[in-house]
Each structure stands twice: as C-alpha cells, then as structure tokens.
Amino acid sequence: MTYTEKTNVVIVGAGIFGMSSALWMLETGKYSVTILDKSEVLPAPDAASTDINKIIRAADYKDPLIASLALNAVEHWRKPEWEGTYHECGVVALSATHEKEGMDFVECAYKNCCDLGLDATLLPDATAIKPVVDRGNAFPTGSFGGRQGYINPIGGWGEAGRAVEVGLKRAKKLGAVVRAGAEVTGLIKDGKNVKGVELKSGEKVFGDLVVIAAGAWTPKLFASPAVAARLPPIVATGQSVAILQLTPEEAKKYAKVPVIFNLDDGWYIFPPNPTGLMKMAIHSAGYINPVEEINNVSVPRTKLTPGAEDGAIPKAMLQALRKGLSEVYPELAKKDYAMTRLCWYCDTVTGDWLIDYHPDYNNLFLATGGSGHAFKFASNIGREILRLIERDPSSEFKVRFSFSPPKEMVEPPSEKGDVSAERTQVTDTGADVRSGMRKHLVIDELIRPEDLKAY
C-alpha cells in the first residue's frame, strides 16, 4: 500500500508501542491517528507500562543492534518532552560465575557498552561489587560471593506510568484522537482488506491502516471469532512484582543505589522512588492463565479482574523475591511487603518483538510482543515501527521483527505445538536471559495478605 498525506491510522492499544508509534507518525505530518484502548482510564491501570518504574538500560544487551537502539533511546529520554521521567542512577548487571547463560550475557553486554563508548566498569568479584552497591557503606549488603558483573553509569529507571501519561498528552497535542473505554472486539474485513475495527459497543471505526498494539491482550483479541486471524507463537505471561514502603530515613539511606539485576535468576531491584516505594521483580518464564473457552489462550489476570483486585502473586515467587532481597539488601529483607502485582507481558519465542504486516491481510499491522523489555524503548521504538510500516528497505529490523523470521532465529515449539503450554524457555536474544518453566497460575497457590509479613 502506498500512503498519501494524512493517511488515517487506527491504533489499538495506548501502551508503549501504540503511544510511541502515534508520536513518530504525527511528527511527520503525514498521518492522522486515532488511538483506541479498552481501559476506561488512561494510562490503563492494568497495563504492564502503568507502573511506578521500569528499567532503562543503555546498551546493556547481548545483541549489538539492540544495545545500540537502547543507547539511542536514552538520548531521547533525556529530551525535555519526556518531562524528567528518566532518572539516571546507573545499572549493575550480575551473574553467578557458574551460570553460563548469565555470564555470556554479562561479557557480551559489557563489550557492547565499551564498543559504544560508555564508561562501563567490570566487577570481577565481591570486593569490586560491594562498593558500587553500598555507596560508601551506608548500609549492609550481601556477600556477593561467586558473582561477577559490571556497572554501567548510564541508564537507570523511568517513571513508567507518568511517562505514558506524558506521551499520550503530547500525542493529543500533535492531533491524535485518544479514546478510552473503546474496546476493540473485531476487524472490519472486505476479503483480504482490513478497513477498520469494530468496538464492543457495536461502533465501527474506519482507517486506512490498523495497527494492533494491544500488548498482553493481543492473543485474546486474535482468538476471538470476530478477528479470527492467525498469529505467530506469542503468549501472555504474568511476572511477579513486590514493593516495599521505606521510612523517610530508609529512603534517604538507599536513595543513591543503582538498579541491580541478576541475570542468573532474573531478580532485579530499583532505588526508592520519591514516595519511598522500592520495587523488585523477577524476570522469568512467568505464569500463564489459559482460558478454556478461547482455546486455552492465556489471558491476563490483573487487578481489574474480578477476584484479583489484591494483586496477589504466587507464594513461591514472593519467597524468591525475598530471598533475592536478602542476598543484596539484607536489612530490607526484614521488612513487610506493602503490595504485590502480576505484570503481564506479551512474550514471543525469542524475546524479539513482533513488528510487521499480517501476511494474510492488507492494511493490518502488528506492533506487539514486548517480551518484558519494551518500555525503555518508548522514546524511539515508534521510529522503527514507522520505518517498517513505510517498508523502509534500510530498516535493520525488517527480518528480525517479522511475522515469520528465519527458522534459525526461532526456538523449536513445544511438543504439543501450544505456546501457552508449560515448557522450558531460554531467551537470551532480544531480552535478558529468561530460563525456566512456564507455570500455570493456580489460585490456591497465590499469597494471602498475611504472607506479606516478614519472617
């Protein structure tokens, strides 16, 4: 399709991919954009990006191409239009020395940082790690025995929810129509042409191009009879998050710590935010919530789901989170947790994103599959999405992010051919090393309020 001036684009989803795509489209002056989101409130309370913070890594990737894109994203985050939502505190990447995948990531990511001109410093042992973690021995830390890593002084964290709010506000200023409470339930098709979308209310919204940027809700949307279009193997997975409420004294003590993430088990932690909330999470294969009525497609179970308002996570994950905390900040491991949350991602097999035209329909484009590492690119991923929409032959990602990437880039499917099935997943291409077995979310295995108490 050849796009003329003011091509009418309908974007389904007001999260990272949807917001960023809209911004880069609108800045060209060639597009009119309507963003539709099912949430009655924006940013959507149950979106992965609606959070107190997300890691923004600058070049801390195993792959040189993604590392370069991440560094470029930081350059954009520093611009005034993001209204100070980026906080540069540095990032420490660690791995147990006996974990091959983790150490491979550390070595490659460190090399990429250096090759891109960043002043990263190797941390070969505990004596090197402790000083960058305790910031002058202001508090006790773990021993860090048998661990290595590096610190990158560039990078840190972003105020995730506020960043989305800022981006949507700017999109509106540039002319976007942003509609909350507009749940898309189907596509308007004319043979192989997609001409728009149908809302739950029955309203039809037409456009020259439909961009699906629905995040973890993408598999559910495509499983509905009103869409009935195939997808590559993507799945909604729930990742476990826990938050501490620090006292003002504690918050001051830990205020200058870096972001720390362990590549062998996926545990990571942030500095406290301005209100003293200190978040940690585990980046793993995650949990699935298959729904029988839609062919066992995994569907997010969020705080907006009836019966899930408390944000409960599996007990095993809360225990793992506290164990990770005790190994880094043992003093804080004695505190009660203030809250927990399941953060739902749309995972691809490799961890690379899905950004491509649908092969079976004209004018239908997918921008999804964030795989737990998309937020940091909110400032520039829209540029790459637009290049792929416009079929820019110079795009470095046209094969990598395609609907059907080369076989050598894709992990073999599970035995039953069901990406939602419980299976081992090791991803160390686009995202961090994420190893382990996807597990089914079992209600009886979730925490209760008393489990938030420290031991």
pLDDT score recorded for residue 410: 53
389 within 8 A of 209, measured Cβ to Cβ: yes
**Is the pLDDT score of 101 beyond 80?**
yes
Cα torsion through 408, 410, 412, 416, rounded to 10: -150
Residues 203, 331: one domain? no
**Is the pLDDT score of 405 beyond 60?**
yes
Cα separation of 236 and 173, whole Å? 32
pLDDT score recorded for residue 434: 62
Domain presence at residue 336: yes
pLDDT score recorded for residue 2: 55
Q: Give the pLDDT mean for 420-436.
A: 48
pLDDT score recorded for residue 437: 81
Where is 94: in which H helix or E strand?
strand 91-96
Cα separation of 344 and 339, whole Å? 16
- Boundary residue ending a domain (386, 404, 422): 404
Cα torsion through 271, 13, 227, 231, rounded to 10: -40
pLDDT score recorded for residue 435: 58
Cα torsion through 243, 246, 251, 255, rounded to 10: -20
Residues 44, 7: one domain? yes
Residues 344, 447: one domain? yes
Residues 315, 384: one domain? no
Residues 375, 342: one domain? no
pLDDT score recorded for residue 138: 83
Cα separation of 450 and 239, whole Å? 21
- Boundary residue ending a domain (404, 429, 447): 404
The count of domains in the chain is 2
Q: Tell me the average pLDDT of the chain.
A: 93
Cα separation of 197 and 216, whole Å? 19
Residues 415, 342: one domain? yes
Domain presence at residue 370: yes
**HSE, side-chain direction, 13 A CA sphere, residue 151:** 17
Q: Which CATH number does the domain housing residue 439 bear?
A: 3.30.9.10
Residues 446, 380: one domain? no
**Is the pLDDT score of 428 beyond 60?**
no
pLDDT score recorded for residue 27: 98
Per cent of the chain over pLDDT 90 is 88
Could you report the per-residue pLDDT of 218-251, keeping only the tens digit for each?
A: 999 999 999 988 999 999 999 999 999 999 999 9
Mean pLDDT lowest among 62-66, 205-209, 279-283, 412-416: 412-416
**First-residue to last-residue Cα distance in the chain:** 61
How would residue 15 be classed by pLDDT, with cut points 50, 70 and 90?
A: very high
Domain presence at residue 64: no
Cα separation of 381 and 64, whole Å? 16
pLDDT score recorded for residue 416: 33
Domain presence at residue 448: yes
- Higher-confidence residue of 286 and 1: namely 286
- Higher-confidence residue of 430 and 282: namely 282
**HSE, side-chain direction, 13 A CA sphere, residue 53:** 30
Residue 256 CB contacts under 8 Å (≥ 6 apart), including other chains:
89, 135, 271
- Backbone φ and ψ of 431, nearest 5°: -100, -165
The Cα-based distances of 103 to 139, 153, 375 in angstroms read 27, 20, 24
How would residue 137 be classed by pLDDT, with cut points 50, 70 and 90?
A: confident
Rg over alpha carbons for the chain, rounded to the nearest Å, is: 21
How would residue 415 be classed by pLDDT, with cut points 50, 70 and 90?
A: very low
Residues 200, 264: one domain? no
3-class secondary structure, 21: helix
128 within 8 A of 26, measured Cβ to Cβ: no
127 within 8 A of 147, measured Cβ to Cβ: no
- Boundary residue ending a domain (389, 404, 419): 404
Q: Give the pLDDT mean for 312-327.
A: 98
Domain presence at residue 88: no
Cα separation of 336 and 244, whole Å? 7
Domain presence at residue 300: yes
Cα separation of 210 and 195, whole Å? 8
Residues 178, 304: one domain? no
Q: Of 327, 324, 387, 346, whose CA–CA distance to 214 is shortest?
A: 346
pLDDT score recorded for residue 425: 44
pLDDT score recorded for residue 341: 97
- Backbone φ and ψ of 26, nearest 5°: -65, -35
Residues 242, 291: one domain? yes
**Strand pairing report for 259-262 and 91-96:** parallel
**Is the pLDDT score of 1 beyond 90?**
no
The whole domain housing 206 covers 1-53+159-213+353-404
pLDDT score recorded for residue 228: 82
Residues 47, 16: one domain? yes
**Is the pLDDT score of 408 beyond 90?**
no
Q: Give the pLDDT mean for 285-310.
A: 95
Q: Give the pLDDT mean for 321-332.
A: 98
Global pTM value? 0.93
Could you report the per-residue pLDDT of 209-220, keeping only the tens digit for each?
A: 999 999 999 999
Give the bridge partners for 345, in sequence order.
Answer: 237
pLDDT score recorded for residue 385: 99
Residues 371, 249: one domain? no
Q: Give the DSSP per-residue string, 242-290.
A: EEEE--HHHHHHTTTPPEEEETTT-EEE----TTSEEEEEE-SS-EE-E
Domain presence at residue 129: no
pLDDT score recorded for residue 200: 97
Domain presence at residue 45: yes
